[in-house]
Amino acid sequence: MRFSWIALSVLLSLSGCSQKGAFDLFKIDEAHERSVEQLRSGTILLSLETKAIFSSVYLNKIDPQTYKDGEYFIISVYYEKDDRTNKKRELESNGYTVKLNGRSMTSSEILSEHDVRRNFMPIRNSWNRYYLIRFNAAPESALVLRLENNQTGSVELTYQK
């Protein structure tokens, strides 16, 4: 009987605790939330070895007012054998190409570490390379972004308009 009174008093004293949870302490803005929703990642493997890790965010869904004259993506690429001495740091310098539904990109821009557009990419680290790429507007509703290399293979990331 004594145990039940102690248990009852503890239960009553804790019942007045706050209804807030741990996630109420984190504030995520709407653009970051949409970025996380649009993030896709894939890996190119060859003989069980990682050759490249490819991540992308479809910007047209995040900021449709800014990105409306084509299909825009921020991509992040990790290369197994990255030549950091290469100053150009272009995708093609490591033998990779990016295509959207089989079509080549119309422009590519390397994003520096402090570029504010990199905030749209939820993945941030020093060993990836970041690019803003643009394709002409695609008539299809399904978008397949493909990173490929003739020697190591390819990976596809799929989006819906």
At 77, list the tokens.
């690429």
Per-residue pLDDT, 82: 58
Does residue 46 register a pLDDT over 60? yes
Q: 95-126 pLDDT, tens per residue?
A: 789 999 999 999 999 998 889 999 889 888 88
Does residue 158 register a pLDDT over 90? yes
Provide the 10 A C-beta neighbour count for residue 91. Answer: 21
Average pLDDT over residues 46-53: 86
Which is more confident, 26 or 131? 131
Does residue 10 register a pLDDT over 70? no
Using an 8 Å Cβ cutoff, are 46 and 153 in contact?
Answer: yes
Per-residue pLDDT, 76: 92
Q: 54-109 pLDDT, tens per residue?
A: 999 999 988 888 988 999 999 999 887 655 555 555 677 677 899 999 999 999 99
Task: Report which listed range, 46-50, 76-80, 155-159, is most confident.
Answer: 155-159
Q: Is 7 left (phi over 0), alpha (psi -120 to 50) or beta?
A: alpha
Does residue 48 register a pLDDT over 70? yes
Q: 28-39 pLDDT, tens per residue?
A: 677 778 888 889
